[in-house]
Structure 1
């Protein structure tokens, strides 16, 4: 009898078809059609395996799963999964470690350039028939030769550092466990405690996971340490930034600008004050989405599901619990 994989996120028919084309023999795939715990509890009830991209998976949803063997994150950050509930229910959890490092690092670079040069603002204005030219809301800056501070220096942060080499940037990084001098030399980066990084950087890039330590890490006190000409780029998780403090800093021009791909509430509400700031670039959690990475990431997930189906453990680097 086929085993069932349910993707908890709503999927367009074309995307569902691409997934089914990669399914191993002996599996069927279903997916969400709405959001909310009530719907998720219904579709997970009889599933053998579940995949979550951007939707949160609560204890209520997990307790509704009658035979779930594995909950797999389509991506890396598992902050939207109730891990304690998964443990209590005896459900293994995995993720696609390293799968999105290059796409997210490239997107971080794109957001950085867009924020430094008002690219998104100028694009939106021209679409409305406004030829702004030199009449931008603030000064524009080059990336070349600047100091970039990377908060979180895992696979994504390290890949971003590699991309920055061509711009001749000075790279500072902050993370819980410092690299060895040899590793730092290999990445062309220098360790800096967060206060030093914030004070020195022209660009502060958040590439860290959301944990108890990083929740609210960038608040008004952290922003007060930044240069008035600096920009903040967040492709980590919305909860790393206290959004109300960032909004105030952008409104008062305490910092020059920011770019965000992630938010404390997703989807971002249409009445969010973030959408009314002319020195903020916003995108709807797109950093990891690229056509070239689809098959690779899906096959990584399906490979782990196959292992569990055969009674084998998930790949060590992908195992969460």
Structure 2
């Protein structure tokens, strides 16, 4: 029986919903925990694996019978692609499948930080009523300049949402879009340092790779307006978290919304945990109950194609 293992531990009901879309005669199991030994045990005897943010290292790529690893999402920094090539393991990703969810979460974090929504919620739950205090530091998004670092599927979806707020959208990426693409999303390219200096909101929506690792550090944060905010729904490694914490603590940045971290789950000594002007979420931007079915069908369809000796959807292939 062909066996798929989901490496990221999930609730039993979610696994059951996924299993509804399995090809006939296939089975689906879940790793018991994020522990390395449990991850290896889960892979034992598996033909295919799915990873959200769980690392798949060289030893895991070498497990006998493993034919392919599917990334749930697009970022592949947690997958050892070189080891996959050595062992003949196909690596795929669901390009664009979570773009709307991540874009909406990014927008939600922008609004929550700007409008002090989370701080107000916690205060009311604790019996306080800081209407004047929080109102004095709340700002609107409408008409502001938003700088998007990364302009792939997610960045383009976010630009579309921001159009409804009348925002000026600027962006930076390695290769600028064509004039036609920029006109379609009403965004214009700017050099990174200029984007940082002119944006009221800076949002990270890029891949983590050798050119983006620690991209936003102390020096780049110093370029931003002191009343600007930073959102990271990309990868934790794009941002130097200690530098961000210092900037906010010292009043050099107004606030931040962070969904991804350099170490996940977040460590108890992470300096961002102590800052009330920072909203933290548990890497949930790509998660959406209503996008589960098409994403699962897509991944299982790619696995079935490989099992049948057919090439999977070319847009999804990494290795």
Q: Tell me the TM-score normalised to structure 1 length.
A: 0.97
1:159 pairs with one of 154, 157, 163: 157
**Deviation at 1:26?**
2.3
Q: Does 1:172 align with 2:170?
A: yes
1:147 pairs with one of 136, 145, 164: 145
Q: Which residue of 2 aligns with 1:62?
A: 61
Q: Contact 2:101/2:286 (CA < 8 Å) preserved in 1?
A: yes
Q: Contact 1:210/1:236 (CA < 8 Å) preserved in 2?
A: yes
Distance 1:75 1:17 in 2: 20
Structure 1 stretches lacking a partner, 5+ long: none
Q: Does 1:11 align with 2:10?
A: yes
Q: Contact 2:142/2:167 (CA < 8 Å) preserved in 1?
A: yes
Q: Contact 1:232/1:258 (CA < 8 Å) preserved in 2?
A: yes
Q: Which residue of 2 aligns with 1:310?
A: 308
Q: Which residue of 2 aligns with 1:191?
A: 189
Distance 1:128 1:89 in 2: 55
Distance 2:152 2:264 in 1: 24
Q: Which residue of 2 aligns with 1:106?
A: 104
Q: Contact 1:5/1:48 (CA < 8 Å) preserved in 2?
A: yes
**Cα–Cα, structure 1 residues 218 and 28, in superposed 2: closer, same or farther, change >3 Å?**
same
Q: How many correspondences in the alignment? A: 319
**Deviation at 1:5?**
0.5
Q: Contact 2:242/2:271 (CA < 8 Å) preserved in 1?
A: no
Q: Contact 1:37/1:58 (CA < 8 Å) preserved in 2?
A: no
**Deviation at 1:130?**
1.2
Counting only pairs closer than 5 Å after superposition, residues 131-280 of structure 1 correspond to structure 2 as 131-136=129-134, 139-280=137-278
CA RMSD of aligned residues (A): 1.1
Q: Contact 1:23/1:302 (CA < 8 Å) preserved in 2?
A: yes
Residue-by-residue CA offset, 1:169-216 (whole Å, 9 max, x unaligned): 001010111111111111100100101100110000100000100000
Q: Contact 1:11/1:33 (CA < 8 Å) preserved in 2?
A: no
**Deviation at 1:137?**
9.5
Distance 1:93 1:208 in 2: 20
**Deviation at 1:275?**
1.1
SS at match of 1:9: coil
Q: Which residue of 1 aligns with 2:281?
A: 283
SS at match of 1:229: coil
Q: Does 1:31 align with 2:30?
A: yes
Residue-by-residue CA offset, 1:87-136 (whole Å, 9 max, x unaligned): 11110100111100111101110000011111111111111111111123
Q: Contact 1:151/1:173 (CA < 8 Å) preserved in 2?
A: yes
Distance 1:219 1:311 in 2: 46
Distance 2:195 2:170 in 1: 6
Q: Contact 1:95/1:320 (CA < 8 Å) preserved in 2?
A: yes
SS at match of 1:136: helix
